[in-house]
Structure 1
Amino acid sequence: MSARILALVGSLRAGSHNRQLAEAAAKLAPEGAEVVLHEGLADVPFYNEDIDVEGSVPAAAARLREAASAADAFLLFAPEYNGTIPAVLKNAIDWLSRPYGAGAIAGKPVAVVGTAFGQHGGIWAQDDARKAVGVAGGKVIEDIKLAIPGSVTRFAESHPADDAEVAAQLTEVVSRLKGHAGEAVAA
């Protein structure tokens, strides 16, 4: 069984180290796992129930929901902005949580990883993302974690895919998430 894992990156910057991590996860995905980076989070308007009306949902939000519906699992890449989750990632979670109780993320396995400049690698943001996605109905896999500190210096001259330690850790994360996705489909 192949698992389709939707990657959501909480940074919009083209050269973002978290985006590079997501690219590395896609490149290094083990056989039977496909990591697909969702493009277009910058175009999704802030969640507003007034515009979340069947038949007139904003196109970017509808595309996000379609991609999420087609996914077997989610891999969130959470940089840390001012000690917490970036708004773009929280907004994606909000859109995927609706309609209440039946959102596209409901019951699907979710892992949260990331990198940040600080010495803790963004764990506050990652913990906040796990909390938000759990409340939104996702099945947070608490024991899949990867927080890489010192991103600015560690990845200054190389892509995360070229860092042997990071590559091995990302491969393990995707492999374990694939296993959880397979369990969810079989259930």
Structure 2
Amino acid sequence: MSPYTIAVVIGSLRKESFNVRLARALEKLAPPELKFHYVRMDDLPLYNQDDDDHPAAPVQRMKDEIKAAHGVLFVTPEYNRSMPGILKNALDHGSRPYGKSVWAGKPVGVAGISPGATGTSMAQQHLRNVLCYLDMRLLTQPELYLQMKDDLFDADGGIGNPGTRKFLQGWMDRYVAWVKQHAQATA
């Protein structure tokens, strides 16, 4: 079977990001036909509509990576009860100019981890509103927001807790089916 490329968009720039660890653990649960590509966002300038007709090289690179993907996986922390600015900036760049959004029609899953008791529930709520507006094909259930705990990850970067691993495997299985169902033939 041909591989499906998944653009992984991490909402954190932190070197020891829990969300990068979660994305890597999810990748381990994916079948071999999914190929994960981590989209770089740390070099994107702040979005400015004046630049729509002549995007900076990092913006064009990001747009090309999203266009080439069969699906998108957002993995985000929660900052001040919302999504991080780096993530909103990337969404704005990818959605412009009007009518040429690279996000439209892409099947998408959302995940996140945070030390807070409610995980990333509020960040995901705000992110999901934007993703729906951008006409992405959003996997709505099951939701995946975790609270970071010391024993969550094992020594190999996988999920150490069997119950959590089972839940995440079920989520990944649904996400894979979602991508296969909605992946654009033009990707």
TM-score category, normalised to shorter length: 0.7 to 0.9
Find the counterpart in structure 1 of residue 46 from structure 2: 46
**Offset of 1:119 from its aligned partner?**
0.6
Cα 1:15/1:50, change in 2 over 3 Å: same
Percent of pairs identical after alignment?
A: 31
Find the counterpart in structure 2 of residue 161 from structure 1: 158
Q: State how far apart, in whole Å, the 2-side matches of 1:100 and 1:122 are.
A: 29
- Between 1:175-184 and 1:13-22, the stretch displaced more is 175-184
Please give the residue correspondences for 1:106-185 in structure 2 after superposition, counting only pairs within 5 Å. Answer: 106-149=104-147, 151=148, 153-155=150-152, 161-163=158-160, 164-185=162-183
- Aligned AA (1:22): A
8 A contact 1:30–1:171 mirrored in 2: no
- Aligned AA (2:51): I
8 A contact 1:76–1:110 mirrored in 2: yes
Gaps of 5+ in 1: none
Secondary structure, aligned partner of 2:139 = strand
**Offset of 1:128 from its aligned partner?**
0.7
Find the counterpart in structure 1 of residue 69 from structure 2: 71
Scaled by the length of structure 1, the TM-score of the pair is 0.87
8 A contact 2:106–2:184 mirrored in 1: no
Q: CA RMSD in A?
A: 2.2
Cα 1:115/1:87, change in 2 over 3 Å: same
**Offset of 1:11 from its aligned partner?**
0.5
Secondary structure, aligned partner of 1:168 = helix
Scaled by the length of structure 2, the TM-score of the pair is 0.87
8 A contact 1:160–1:166 mirrored in 2: no
